[in-house]
Every structure is written in structure tokens, then in C-alpha cells.
């Protein structure tokens, strides 16, 4: 028997087995969820625009269990509310779950498909990750930026002292200054608003808002061809937001290109990708390499600042609500470093309680409570449930960080949970994403948050403004990146 005959004979024998297995998988049920209506499925079961997604899906967990599903116009959406399930699927089976769903409106028409976070798992994505890992992938690499992070944290304190009522804007300025210096070698306007900081802030605000909505063109893709003058055309809305995104990406890119042509470009992530390391001469890049340089720098610029600001706003809020915890962290700083010494990143190991405050801020309200949806690229089965190829899979990070089996009394802000002989799990295991889609800037973000938290605690006192009547309830904005909203927070110098 020839080799070809043997192979053909083997395939003939295995074909019925393959068909039988596929039939068995296809006959399995989807994870539990509400019963859908004809044609539209569970369209009415999606989160309302003004409701945080995690809050909506948490009701499904309570009703249906740790893995749930809905189907919208034949599109399955699987939600994972349990840490072990998320780790099993999104990390251990990451080859099946590392891609992204390509939305028509947000991805194609606005253009977010070209950013790192929305890239499908392909050669371009791997090139993106490789480029960013070479600069931000390890603590040793990120430590090169410690001096910059400490400098901008000190400048933050000065702005807070000069104009404490604008503390949210000051956080945005600090985060933007760090990212823009690393990404483009750009020094922000030290006085007042900066155009590049505002560009990134506006673009990320748009992304977070549009990702939280259902767009008709995603359900009926042919609508993308309708002319913009029609009142219900998706072109009308997408054109403005596409221009906004491209302006945000192109403006700092062109700035660095012009500086390189004049021989005055400072060292940066982007200039390092565009020029030879030894001679500093401009590299001859392929179109794809140039695209990678432009969009990875832009992805770092847009997303990096907003996520850091969200974490720091949660920290400020938690200190105002928990003055005893704030005082304990300040006492540690005063004891270890002295009352007139600002902490550095090199002091981190000497400040376990302050470090625990950082961890608890990330856990208590994670920056991206639902993350960015994953895409299943191959039929799969989990615990007797079918996860179809093409299913959108979402990890409910908020549900995981508030699972009482992992974090007892999860609603309580308690840094002590990360101290002692049996500390609870470090939330960075889930709040930065899963598997091959974990945030590539997580080490940089963690360092920025720590040094800012430490310096703010050293120099400032955070409290609730005293007023008449009941205090406003804490709210969090819906969207991919969520921010706390609470009026009446006061940030002032420690006396």
C-alpha cells in the first residue's frame, strides 16, 4: 500500500468520527440565559445605554450562573463571571479566544480596528505586541521611565496645591505628560490645558461611549453603504469620530517625523522605531512597519492615559470615603521616609500598606469592568455548554474582583486583605485582561499609579466636603473604561 493510499484510507476511517464529534458539539446547548424573541433574539436584554455593563450582566449571573449567554440576531455573546472559567478559556485555551470581533461601526467606519486593543489575532497584532514589548514588556525596561514618572507626580502635587478644585484635570495632565513623553518625546504645556492631552482624552471618551451602544449597522452591515445625507445613515456619525481618531493618531506622528527631518527629535518610542539605533538615520521601513510604528504609538497614547486616570480617580474616591485607611497609609509614609520626604518607586518594597492601597483601588473598582470582548475562532465546549465559532466572549472582571469566594466582603475597601501570611490574590491577575490580550502597558501603568498614590498621600489630604443633607451616591460611568462620579471631593495640602 502506498503512502498516499494509506493516508486516504486513514482519512476515510476518521471522517465519520470527525462528523460524529461535530454533530455532538452542535447538539449541545449554549450557556444559560434569557429566552430570546424571534429574529431579534435577546436584543432587549442588552444593557441600557446609561447602565454600566457589569451591573447589568451581574443580574444574569445571579439568575443563570457563572457562565451565561444571550444571542442577538444569531450572534452569540458569552459572559464569563467566574475567575476559573475566564482563566480556563481566555488563558489556557487562548489560541481559540485571542481574537477580536470586527464591528462595522466602531472598528471599520470609525477606524478603531487599527488600534492594538481592537486588532484581530493575526500577524499585525503580533508585530504590534512585539514592538511594544521591546519598550514596556518588563519591570527592568519600564524602570528607565521612573525618573519621568516621579517628576510628573511632583508636578501633579504642585498643580493640586495651586488649583485643588481641578484635581481631575490635573490627573489627566499628569498621565498624558508621561505617555506623550515616552511615546513621542513630547513635553506638554506646563501651564493650562495641552492640545495633545485633550485630543487623546476626547478620543478615548468617544471610544468608551460608542462601544457601549448597539449600532444598527453592526446588525445590518449593508447599511454602511447608505449616503451620509440620509437621516439614519451611519456615515453621518462615523465621519466626525473617524476624523477625530485620525487627527489624534496623525498629529503627534507628523510632529515626530518633522523633528526627525530637522535632526531635533528627542528619544521616544516612536523615534526609536523610525530611526537606526547607531546612526540615528531614518530607517527604510516597509509600509507595514511604518503602520505598526504609527498605530502602536497612537494606541499607547490614547488608551494609556485614560486608564491610569480612572484608577487614580478611584483611589481619590476611596480615600475620601475611608479616612482611617488614608491616615494609616500616611502614617506608614511618615514613619518609613519621614514627614517631608516624597516616595520614589525604589521605596515600593518598604511601603507594603501603600502598595496594598494600590492593589485594593484596582480591585474595588477595576478600570475596565468588562474589558474588551474576545472572539472565539474555533468551536469549543465548556462544562457541557457549546461555545460556537464566532461567538463574542466577555470576561466580567467586576464580578471576579467582587467574588466573595476570592475576596471576602468584596464591597468593603480593605487594603489589609493583601497583607499578612495569607494574602488574597493580587487583582492584577484579572484587571489587566487575560491571556494574549493582557494589557501590554500594565507594568508602566502600575508604576505610575503607585508613585502618584504615594506622593498624593504624602502631601495631600483627601476628604468629602461637608454639606447639608444626604451625600450623593457614588456612580460609575458606563463604557469600556469606567470612571467614578461623585461631587464634593476635596483635595488639600496636609497641615
Please give the annotated binding residues, written as ranges.
439
Closest among 491, 391, 339 to 97, alpha carbons compared? 391
User: In the Cβ-directed half-sphere of 151, how many Cα atoms lie within 13 Å?
Assistant: 11
Considering only CA atoms, give the Rg of the chain. 24
Neighbour count for residue 454 (Cβ, 10 Å): 27
- Spell out a b/e string for 205-238, using b for 16 or more CB atoms within 10 Å of the CB, else e: bbbbebbbeebebbbeeebbeeeeeeeebbbebb
Q: How far is it, in rounded angstroms, from Cα 425 to Cα 296?
A: 31
Cα-flanking dihedrals φ and ψ of residue 482, to 5°? -110, 140
Cα-flanking dihedrals φ and ψ of residue 390, to 5°? 90, -5
Please list the residues that pair with 374 across neighbouring strands: 393
**DSSP H helices in 65-120:** 83-86, 94-97
Q: Residue positions in the annotated binding site for heme?
A: 439
**Are 362 and 427 contacting, i.e. CB atoms less than 8 angstroms apart?**
yes
Q: Which cell is 173 given?
A: 495632565
Amino acid at each position: 500500500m502506498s503512502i498516499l493510499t494509506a493516508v486516504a484510507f486513514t482519512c476515510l476511517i476518521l471522517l465519520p468520527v470527525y462528523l460524529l464529534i461535530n454533530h455532538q458539539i452542535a447538539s449541545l446547548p449554549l450557556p444559560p440565559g434569557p429566552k430570546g424573541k424571534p429574529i431579534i433574539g435577546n436584543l432587549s436584554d442588552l444593557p441600557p445605554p446609561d447602565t454600566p455593563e457589569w451591573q447589568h450582566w451581574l443580574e444574569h449571573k445571579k439568575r443563570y450562573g457563572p457562565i451565561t449567554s444571550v444571542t442577538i440576531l444569531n450572534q452569540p455573546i458569552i459572559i464569563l463571571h467566574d475567575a476559573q472559567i475566564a482563566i480556563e478559556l481566555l488563558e489556557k485555551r487562548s489560541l481559540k479566544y485571542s481574537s477580536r470581533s470586527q464591528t462595522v461601526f466602531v472598528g471599520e467606519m470609525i477606524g478603531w480596528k487599527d488600534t492594538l486593543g481592537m486588532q484581530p489575532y493575526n500577524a499585525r497584532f503580533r508585530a504590534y505586541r512585539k514592538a511594544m514589548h521591546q519598550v514596556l514588556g518588563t519591570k527592568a525596561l519600564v524602570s528607565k521611565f521612573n525618573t519621568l514618572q516621579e517628576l510628573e507626580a511632583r508636578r501633579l502635587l504642585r498643580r493640586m496645591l495651586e488649583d485643588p478644585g481641578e484635581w481631575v484635570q490635573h490627573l489627566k495632565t499628569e498621565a498624558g505628560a508621561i505617555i506623550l513623553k515616552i511615546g513621542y518625546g513630547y513635553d506638554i504645556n506646563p501651564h493650562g490645558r495641552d492640545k495633545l492631552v485633550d485630543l487623546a482624552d476626547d478620543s478615548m471618551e468617544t471610544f468608551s461611549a460608542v462601544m457601549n451602544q448597539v449600532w444598527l449597522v453592526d446588525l445590518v452591515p449593508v447599511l454602511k453603504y447608505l449616503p451620509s445625507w440620509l437621516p439614519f445613515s451611519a456615515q453621518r456619525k462615523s465621519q466626525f469620530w473617524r476624523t477625530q481618531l485620525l487627527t489624534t493618531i496623525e498629529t503627534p506622528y507628523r510632529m515626530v517625523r518633522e523633528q526627525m527631518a530637522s535632526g531635533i527629535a528627542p528619544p521616544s518610542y516612536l523615534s526609536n522605531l523610525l530611526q537606526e539605533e547607531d546612526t540615528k538615520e531614518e530607517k527604510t521601513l516597509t509600509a507595514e512597519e511604518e503602520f505598526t510604528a504609527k498605530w502602536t504609538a497612537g494606541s499607547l497614547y490614547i488608551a494609556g492615559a485614560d486608564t491610569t486616570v480612572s484608577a487614580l480617580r478611584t483611589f481619590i474616591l476611596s480615600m475620601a470615603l475611608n479616612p482611617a485607611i488614608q491616615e494609616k497609609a500616611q502614617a506608614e509614609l511618615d514613619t518609613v521616609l519621614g514627614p517631608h520626604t516624597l516616595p520614589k518607586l525604589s521605596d515600593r518594597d518598604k511601603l507594603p500598606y501603600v502598595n496594598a492601597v494600590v492593589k485594593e483601588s484596582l480591585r474595588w473598582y477595576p478600570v475596565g469592568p468588562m474589558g474588551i470582548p474576545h472572539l472565539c475562532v474555533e468551536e469549543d465546549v465548556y462544562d457541557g455548554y457549546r461555545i460556537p465559532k464566532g461567538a463574542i466572549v466577555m470576561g466580567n472582571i467586576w464580578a471576579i474582583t467582587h467574588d466573595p469566594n476570592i475576596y471576602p466582603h468584596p464591597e468593603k475597601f480593605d487594603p489589609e486583605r493583601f497583607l499578612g501570611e495569607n494574602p488574597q490574590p493580587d487583582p492584577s491577575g484579572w484587571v489587566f485582561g487575560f491571556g494574549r490580550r493582557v494589557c501590554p502597558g500594565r507594568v508602566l501603568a502600575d508604576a505610575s499609579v503607585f508613585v502618584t498614590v504615594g506622593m498624593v498621600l504624602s502631601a495631600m489630604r483627601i476628604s468629602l466636603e461637608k454639606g447639608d443633607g444626604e451625600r450623593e451616591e457614588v456612580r460609575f460611568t458606563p463604557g469600556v473604561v469606567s470612571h467614578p462620579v461623585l461631587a464634593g471631593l476635596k483635595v488639600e495640602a496636609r497641615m
